[in-house]
């Protein structure tokens, strides 16, 4: 028999995407051929998501599609939906293996045991029992300009609407030396930007500093330092070849004067802060078990802009949380406009069995959730354009990532994560250029004229 062919499909967050790449690398090193998610594979691995009911549905659909593409293939349900709904999946004839989050790094061994007939029940290893980071890592990635590096897993916050602590377990941080080693490997491969990501990176190092304690990330007013994460950012930024360090989603409580002061001293740091708001109403925030209020969040944004005047502040907001009144939603709309977000990710509340909010009274009808979601999405588009317009007529640094479908047109991002298009006879992919922004499109995309190169030491392959 020739090499076995394995195909992957990812649903959900950037952490899932990272873990898919890591699992693909593990299988490749074990002798598998990694192929597109299409008919003809011997093994299909669907890295699932369970953050919403829609995510559950999409996970099931992709599992069924995989079995339809090759009824004789081994179909693996991996990740968060597999962790939460193993009982249902055991009854699903499309699924051959159920692999929870604690077992992703064991994928080659699990498949080997399956193929040689050994008894294996990977679903019997609950993630809640795991105390250390799982060891997944990557040495390269398909995106030749920006690479994500997972630095932690799990969450201790227990917001009333969220499944994550149940399917991802408690905070487990990756050792600093492992993160730095991976970043150095990626820099040597030509990557110029790294994104430090995780399930709750604001908690990075809590398990090192307080072993065995499920501490929450403190509010900014209570926090004394965030030295673990700051040191990791500083060391990553110091790696030769790394020109940008970007952070994944942050809990507002991590942002202290000391944290911002430290970041302002790191030239490679990208002033893009994704601070999850979830609601602009104090009463809703209380029901959500979020540990800040409007005044806290407002002060945090003011602090950020005191050192990073052009900082992009992006966020997540949930509409239709149980009991959300029209007045509470209007508070959210008003607050979002006041804060001047550069981008808003809008989610309709999804009732998740096992969370406290699932049993709250006042469940909001889907029709109202959608109406509120549509309004908030519209406001988000307006705010995105307003934010991008502040760069009109200015020169800004752009890392070009790819050529669009239009020949000679390249797409890249500023340090603030504003998307920029530029036409050039040169191959701009992989280069960092100063661009004069000449126009803002209706969707907030900027159009610029690429000027002098900030660095040319790396030029991506064009094959």
Tokens of 128: 């809640």
- pLDDT tier for residue 319 given thresholds of 50, 70 and 90: very high
Q: Which CATH architecture has domain 395-455?
A: Beta Barrel (2.40)
What is the length of the chain? 463
Domain regions of the chain by residue span: 5-129, 146-389, 395-455
Q: What percent of the chain stands above pLDDT 90?
A: 84
pLDDT of residue 313: 98
Give phi and psi for 14, each to the nearest 5: -65, -30
CA distance 225 to 341: 26
Of the candidates 306, 309, 198, 214, the residue with the CA atom closest to the CA atom of residue 255: 306
Residue 254's pLDDT is what? 94
What stretch of H or E contains 317?
Answer: strand 312-319
Residues whose CB is less than 8 angstroms from the CB of residue 91 and which lie 6 or more positions away in sequence, other chains included: none
CATH class for the domain made up of 146-389: alpha beta
Instruction: Quote the strand ranges of 54-139, DSSP E.
Output: 74-79, 97-99
Render pLDDT for 372-419 as a digit per residue (tens, 0 to 9).
999 999 999 999 999 999 999 999 999 999 999 888 999 999 999 999
The torsion of the CA quartet 390, 393, 396, 400, rounded to 10 degrees, works out to: 100
Could you give the CA distance from residue 144 to residue 140 in angstroms, rounded to a whole number? 9
Q: pLDDT tens for residues 65-111?
A: 999 999 999 999 999 999 999 999 999 999 999 999 989 999 999 99
**Helix, strand, coil share of the chain (percent; to 5):** 40, 20, 40
Does residue 458 carry a pLDDT above 50?
no
CB 445 within 8 A of CB 412: no
CA distance to 224, 339, 426, per residue, from 221 (Å): 8, 20, 50
Domain 5-129 has CATH 3.40.50.12160: yes
Using DSSP, state whether 156 is helix, strand or coil. coil
Q: What is the mean pLDDT of residues 151-163?
A: 96
pLDDT for res 127: 74
d(CA 329, CA 335): 10
Contact 333, 371 (CB under 8 A): no
pLDDT in tens, 16-67: 999 999 999 999 999 999 999 999 999 999 999 999 999 999 999 999 999 9
Residue of higher predicted confidence among 450 and 363: 363
For strands 419-423 and 409-414, give the pairing. antiparallel
The least confident of 124-138, 140-154, 315-329, 375-389 is 124-138
Neighbour-count burial of 34, counting CB atoms closer than 10 A to its CB (0-12 exposed, 13-18 middle, 19+ buried): middle
pLDDT tier for residue 125 given thresholds of 50, 70 and 90? low
Is the predicted pLDDT of residue 1 greater than 90, yes or no? no
DSSP string spanning 355-406?
SGGGG-S-PPPHHHHHHHHHHHHHHHHHHHHHHHHTTTT-EEEEEEEEE-SS
DSSP string covering 65-79: HHHHH-TTSEEEEEE
The pTM score is: 0.92
* pLDDT over threshold 50, residue 457: no
Q: What is the pLDDT of residues 232-284, one digit of tens each?
A: 999 999 999 999 999 999 999 999 999 999 999 999 999 999 999 999 999 99
Cα angle value 308/309/315 (rounded, 5°): 75
The rounded mean pLDDT for the chain is: 92
Determine the pLDDT at residue 2. 72
């Amino acid at each position: 028999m020739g090499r076995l062919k394995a195909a992957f499909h990812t649903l959900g967050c950037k952490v899932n995407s990272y873990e898919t790449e890591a699992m693909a690398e593990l299988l490749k090193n074990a002798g598998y051929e990694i192929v597109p998610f299409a008919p003809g594979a011997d093994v299909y691995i669907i890295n699932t998501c369970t953050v919403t009911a829609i995510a559950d549905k999409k996970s099931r659909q992709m599992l069924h599609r995989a079995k339809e593409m090759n009824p004789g293939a081994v179909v693996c349900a991996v990740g968060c939906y597999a962790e939460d709904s193993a009982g249902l999946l055991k009854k699903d004839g499309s699924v051959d293996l159920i692999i929870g989050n604690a077992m992703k790094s064991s994928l080659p061994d699990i498949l080997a045991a399956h193929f040689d007939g050994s008894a294996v029940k990977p679903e019997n290893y609950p993630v809640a029992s795991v105390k250390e980071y799982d060891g997944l890592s990557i040495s390269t990635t398909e995106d030749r300009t920006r690479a994500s590096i997972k630095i932690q897993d799990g969450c201790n916050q227990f917001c009333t609407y969220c499944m994550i602590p149940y399917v991802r377990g408690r905070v487990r941080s990756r050792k600093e030396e492992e993160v730095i080693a991976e970043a150095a490997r990626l820099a040597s491969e030509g990557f110029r930007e790294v994104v430090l990501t995780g399930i709750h990176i604001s908690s990075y190092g809590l398990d090192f500093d307080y072993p065995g304690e499920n501490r929450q990330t403190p509010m900014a007013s209570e926090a004394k330092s965030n030295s673990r994460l700051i040191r990791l950012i500083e060391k990553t930024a110091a790696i030769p070849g790394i020109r940008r360090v970007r952070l994944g989603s942050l809990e507002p409580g991590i942002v202290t004067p000391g944290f911002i002061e430290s970041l302002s001293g790191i030239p490679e740091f990208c002033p893009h802060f994704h601070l999850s708001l979830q609601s602009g109403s104090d009463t809703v925030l209380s029901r959500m078990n979020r540990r800040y209020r409007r005044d806290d969040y407002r002060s945090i944004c003011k602090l950020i802009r005191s050192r990073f005047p052009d900082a992009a502040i992006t966020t997540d907001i949930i509409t239709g949380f149980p009991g959300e009144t029209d007045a509470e939603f209007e508070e959210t709309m008003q607050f979002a406009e006041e804060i001047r977000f550069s981008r808003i990710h809008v989610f309709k509340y999804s009732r998740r069995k096992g969370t406290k909010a699932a049993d709250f009274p006042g469940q909001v009808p889907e029709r109202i959730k959608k109406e509120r979601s549509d309004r908030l999405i519209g406001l988000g588009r307006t705010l995105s354009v307003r934010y991008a317009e502040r760069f009109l007529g200015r020169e800004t640094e752009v890392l070009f990532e790819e050529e669009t479908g239009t020949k000679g047109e390249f797409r890249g991002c500023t340090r603030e994560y504003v998307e920029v298009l530029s036409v050039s006879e040169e191959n701009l992919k992989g280069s960092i250029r100063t661009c004069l922004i000449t126009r803002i499109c209706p969707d907030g995309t900027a159009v610029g004229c690429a000027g002098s190169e900030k660095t040319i030491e790396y030029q991506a392959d064009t094959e």
